Amino acid sequence: MHEEMKEQEQKKNQEQADASNENKNDEQKIAILRELGQTELPENSKKNPRGNIHCLTIIGQIEGHIVLPPQNKTTKYEHLLPQMAAIENDPQIDGVLILLNTVGGDVEAGLAISEMIASLDKPTVSLVLGGGHSIGVPLAVASNYSFIAPSATMTIHPVRMSGTVIGVAQTYEYFDKMQERIVAFVANNSKISKERFKNLMLDTGKLAKDVGTILIGEEAVQEKLIDEIGGLSQAMNKLYELIQQRKLTMSKEE
Based on the fold, state whether residues 9 and 59 are members of the same structural domain: no
Based on the fold, state whether residues 2 and 65 are members of the same structural domain: no
pLDDT tens-digit map of 138-148: 999 999 999 99
pLDDT of residue 218: 94
Residues forming the active site: 134, 157
Based on the fold, state whether residues 144 and 236 are members of the same structural domain: yes
Based on the fold, state whether residues 121 and 187 are members of the same structural domain: yes
**Chain-centre distance of CA 238, in angstroms?**
17
pLDDT of residue 18: 61
pLDDT of residue 34: 53
- Percentage of the chain surpassing pLDDT 90? 36
Sequence-distant contacts of 44-49: CB under 8 A, at least 24 apart: 46/92
Into how many domains does the chain fold? 2
Based on the fold, state whether residues 148 and 23 are members of the same structural domain: no
Domain region containing 130: 49-253
Is the alpha carbon torsion for 205, 208, 210, 216 positive or negative? negative
Based on the fold, state whether residues 13 and 85 are members of the same structural domain: no
Q: Are 102 and 60 in contact, with CB atoms under 8 Å apart?
A: yes
- Which amino acid, residue 158? P
Based on the fold, state whether residues 63 and 36 are members of the same structural domain: no
1 pLDDT above the threshold of 60: no
- For residue 91, what is the DSSP state? T
pLDDT tens-digit map of 178-219: 888 999 999 999 999 999 998 898 887 776 566 788 999 999
Based on the fold, state whether residues 58 and 164 are members of the same structural domain: yes
- Which amino acid, residue 156? I
Based on the fold, state whether residues 171 and 89 are members of the same structural domain: yes
228 pLDDT above the threshold of 70: yes
Based on the fold, state whether residues 10 and 70 are members of the same structural domain: no
Report the alpha-carbon distance of residue 28 to residue 70 in Å, rounded.
22
- Which amino acid, residue 20? S
How much is the mean pLDDT over the chain? Answer: 80
Confidence of residue 104 (pLDDT cuts 50, 70, 90): confident
Based on the fold, state whether residues 77 and 197 are members of the same structural domain: yes
